[in-house]
Structure 1
C-alpha cells in the first residue's frame, strides 16, 4: 500500500537520484547507481547494452519500463557545448515530429543563468561547475548551442549535466523530473514487492531506447501485449495538473497501443477513483483550434510496436507535469500517489 510513510521513502529516493548525472547517451555512471540501489532488494539484476533489467520471482507476470536518461549538454569542441539529445550522431533518429524537437525552440532561452556540472563519461567523477551564459538555436546545425563560463578546459565528449535539486512546496515537487521520477516509481514498486520484470532503458531522449528493449525481448524469445512504459506528459500550466491524476494514450505517431491493456488500465482507474485523460485525444482537440498542429508525440512503445510488427505491445502510463524539460519541471504529489496506487493494483503489488 502506498501510504504517507511510503511517500516519504519515495521522496528520499527521488532526492538522491535527482542529484546523480545521467546525460542522454552517457548514462553509464547512473546505471551503476541504479544497480547498487536495486541489489538491495530480492530481484535478479542484469545489465545489457543500453539496458538494466530487474526481475522478481514471477518475471513474466508483468513487464514495466522506465527511461533513465535526462537532458544535458555535451562538449563538442573548444568551449563549445550542444544539447546532447540532438547532436549529429543522434539526428538520424529525429525527423521533426517528436515533442522534444517541437519544444526546442520554446525552451531555447530558458537556460540562461543555469548552473551546470561536468563529469567523466563512464565513472561519473566530478570535474567542475559552470554557468550557462547564453543558449540559442544554430540554424545550420539545427541544434541548441550553449555558451558556458567556467568550463572552458573540458575536452570534446565530456557530458555536462544541469545542477539539480528536488524542491518541495505544498502539494508540488519540481526538478528535472523527466525521466528520473519514473525510475524512482519503478524502484519504489520493486521495494514494495513487485514480482515481474522491470526494465530501465537508456537513450530515450535521443529516440534509441526502444532498440534496447526490443533486443532484450528477442534475446529471450519473448513476446507480450502487456508492456507498460512509464513516463511524464507535459501540460502548459500548473493548474492543468489538477485536471487529471494520470495520462493514458490510445496511440502515438507511430502505432496504436494494445486496446485490451489500455481498457484494463482505464477500468482500474475507474475502480480506484483515479482520474485520467487521453493525451492523443487532448492534442487532437487542441489542434482543431491551432493554425500549426502539434504532434501527438513519438514514444518508446510506439517505435517498439512498429519495429516488432506488434510482437511487443502494451500501453503507456504517464504522470502529468508542466515546465517540461527544465529544472523546474513540476508534478503534484497527489498525482504521484494516484499513479503508484494504480501501478500496485495493476501488478498486484503491496
Structure 2
C-alpha cells in the first residue's frame, strides 16, 4: 500500500471544492498521463481509457465539501448554495447530515484559492458555523479571509493521517479517486470516469452526457464511494459495502451478485447498506433515507440503458476532516476490482 498512500497523501492536500474542481482536474490529469491510457477532459468530467474500454466502467467523484465566499466576509457550505440546491430535494445523505455536522467545524483551518488556476490566496480559521433557517444552509464565520471576493472557493486544510491500520482525512471523495488511479497503475484496461459536482447532486449529469455522446449502453458500471457508519467499531463488521438499490431504484442484480461472489471467493467481508438501513428504520421514529447515488440517477435518467452497481468504503465521522476508514478495507476494494476487471487477454 506504500504507493497508494503516497498518492492519497498528495491528493488530499489538493483542494477540490464542489463546483470548483478545475484545478484538481489538472492535477488528476498529470497523474493519469503517467500511464498508458487515453485521457480526455470534458465539462465536469475526466475520462481515462485503456486498451479494452468497453470491458468495464468505473466512476469516482473528484469533489469534496468546502466553503464559498458569497458576500463581504460571508461564507456558505458550497454544496448547498442556492446555485447548487436545484439538484437537491432533502433526500440525500449529505442534507440529512447537515444538522449533525453543523457544530463540528469550530477552530478548523481553511485555505482559499483562485477558482480556476488553484493558486493559493491565504489561510484562515473557522470561528463558528450554524444553520441559517432562511437560506437552509450552513453559514461560517472565518478569521483571516475577510479580503476574499464572492465566488472564491475555500477548502478545509487537510492532511492524511495514518495510525494503527486506519487512515483519516476528508476521505469522501478523494479516496475513491486514489483507488481508481491505483487500479490503472495495476493495469486496469477499461474506462474510468472522474466526475465533478457529486456533493451538489450533479455528477450523474456529466456521466450521462458522456455515455449519450458516445452512444454507450452498459450494465457494467461500478460507482465507487464511501459509506458512513456511526462508530469505528461499525467498520469492523465488514470490509466493503454493497447495495441492491438506492432511493431511485434497483441496481443491476447480475453485477451485484458477481461482486458478492467475488467477495466470497477472495474472503472479503461485506454488508448491504440498503438492508442495514431498512433494519435500522424498524427501530427509528424518523426513518433514514436510502440515499440517492450517482448510479441510481443514471439508471433512472437513462431508462435502464446505463446500469451497474456500487462498491463503497465503510467510514466513520462522515464529511469531516476526521473521516476514518480501514486500510484493510481499501486493500480489499482494490483487490476486488482488480480481480473483477482483469483484461480478457490476461
Band the TM-score falls in, shorter-chain normalisation: over 0.9
Q: What is the alpha-carbon distance in structure 2 between the residues aligned to residue 99 and residue 293 of structure 1? A: 12
Structure 1 window deviating more from structure 2 (86-95 vs 9-18): it is: 86-95
Question: What's the counterpart of residue 306 of structure 2?
Answer: 312
Deviation at 1:348, TM superposition (A): 1.1
Structure 2 counterparts to residues 24-63 of structure 1, below 5 A: 24-63=18-57
Which of residues 118, 121, 142 in structure 1 aligns to 2:115? 121
Q: Give the TM-score normalised by the residue count of structure 2.
A: 0.99
Q: Give the TM-score normalised by the residue count of structure 1.
A: 0.98
Deviation at 1:109, TM superposition (A): 0.2
Structure 1 window deviating more from structure 2 (86-95 vs 15-24): it is: 86-95
Question: What's the counterpart of residue 12 of structure 1?
Answer: 6
Q: What is the alpha-carbon distance in structure 1 between the residues aligned to residue 17 and residue 166 of structure 2? A: 25
Q: What is the alpha-carbon distance in structure 2 between the residues aligned to residue 334 and residue 91 of structure 1? A: 36
Question: What's the counterpart of residue 245 of structure 1?
Answer: 239
Question: What's the counterpart of residue 175 of structure 2?
Answer: 181
Which of residues 201, 204, 207 in structure 2 aligns to 1:207? 201
Question: What's the counterpart of residue 148 of structure 2?
Answer: 154
- Gaps in structure 2 of 5+ consecutive residues: none
Which of residues 201, 211, 217 in structure 2 aligns to 1:223? 217
Q: What is the alpha-carbon distance in structure 1 between the residues aligned to residue 316 and residue 282 of structure 2? A: 22
Q: What is the alpha-carbon distance in structure 2 between the residues aligned to residue 329 and residue 147 of structure 1? A: 23
Question: What's the counterpart of residue 276 of structure 2?
Answer: 282
Deviations 1:65-115 (A, max 9, x none): 000000000000000000000000111111111100000000000000000
Which of residues 312, 331, 337 in structure 2 aligns to 1:337? 331
Deviation at 1:255, TM superposition (A): 1.5
Question: What's the counterpart of residue 4 of structure 1?
Answer: none
User: Are 1:72 and 2:66 matched, yes or no?
Assistant: yes
Q: What is the alpha-carbon distance in structure 1 between the residues aligned to residue 109 and residue 228 of structure 2? A: 23
Q: What is the alpha-carbon distance in structure 1 between the residues aligned to residue 342 and residue 240 of structure 2? A: 19
Q: What is the alpha-carbon distance in structure 1 between the residues aligned to residue 255 and residue 82 of structure 2? A: 37
User: Are 1:327 and 2:321 matched, yes or no?
Assistant: yes
Q: What is the alpha-carbon distance in structure 2 between the residues aligned to residue 33 and residue 192 of structure 1? A: 20
Deviations 1:137-186 (A, max 9, x none): 00000000000000000000000000000001111110000000000000
Greater than 4 Å deviation, 4+ residue runs: none
Question: What's the counterpart of residue 105 of structure 1?
Answer: 99
Q: What is the alpha-carbon distance in structure 2 between the residues aligned to residue 265 and residue 107 of structure 1? A: 33
Q: What is the alpha-carbon distance in structure 1 between the residues aligned to residue 92 and residue 211 of structure 2? A: 25
Question: What's the counterpart of residue 259 of structure 1?
Answer: 253
- Gaps in structure 1 of 5+ consecutive residues: 1-6
Deviations 1:270-305 (A, max 9, x none): 100100000000000000000100001000000000
Which of residues 171, 188, 201 in structure 2 aligns to 1:194? 188
Q: What is the alpha-carbon distance in structure 1 between the residues aligned to residue 125 and residue 294 of structure 2? A: 32
